Amino acid sequence: MTDTSARKVTANIALTLDGRYHGPGGATDLAKIVRYATTETARNHLTDIYGGKTTAVLGRLNAEGFLGYWQTVAADENADARDRGYAKWLIDAEKVVLSRTLTEAPWDRARVVDAPAADVITELKATGAGDILVNTSPSVIKPLLAADLIDRLYLLVCPEIAGGGERLFDDGLPGSQWTLTQQEVGELGEVALVYDRVR
């Protein structure tokens, strides 16, 4: 029998200094973030993010958007080894896609679930083995923060102010305490941070 009591829920996302995961132009406005995603610090951070995880949880937009890009990276022998490692992990990992509109999974080894994020994560914690990664999907991360179901946050903080766009940490979240367990400052001023929930 598998011991699932230690199965941690982790989440990763990149944010601007004003806490936004995209700019005022909407979900595709990533100008304040994208230049920091390929630095040495960001790539080292990426390697830490997926290490030891067995399940990726994604919202629909990321599940569809990641498909074309990361499959190409996995096949590109000239790509950075850290990027290829992540791409191969994402392709091979169990994937759970939260969506109200998809009827078929956009990836192999994936299933679509139309249910509240907190319910899906609670079920995943009770079954299977290995840690769970909520993969750059604010539509999933936000309700999990509200339900206090995230054990570790991987943040890449980019040294720019977006001035508009969606924020990760909305007003009304329950209070919580976090411990900084890892940090690295990059050459462009980006900061890779790992925070563990204090329980």
pLDDT digits (tens, 9 = 90+) for 139-173: 999 999 999 999 999 999 999 999 999 999 999 99
Query: Cβ distance 2 to 129 under 8 Å?
Result: yes
Q: The pTM is what?
A: 0.92
- Domain at 38-155, CATH homologous superfamily: Dihydrofolate Reductase, subunit A (3.40.430.10)
Q: Which DSSP string corresponds to 130-178? A: SEEEEES-HHHHHHHHHTT--SEEEEEEES---SSS-BSS-TTPPP--E
pLDDT band at 16 (very low <50, low <70, confident <90, very high): very high
- The predicted-structure confidence for 110-148, as pLDDT tens digits, reads as follows 999 999 999 999 999 998 889 999 999 999 999 999 999
pLDDT tops 90 at residue 5: no
Residue 3 has a pLDDT of 45
pLDDT at 162: 97
Q: Give φ, ψ of 6 to 5 degrees.
A: -95, 5
**For the chain, domain boundaries:** 38-155
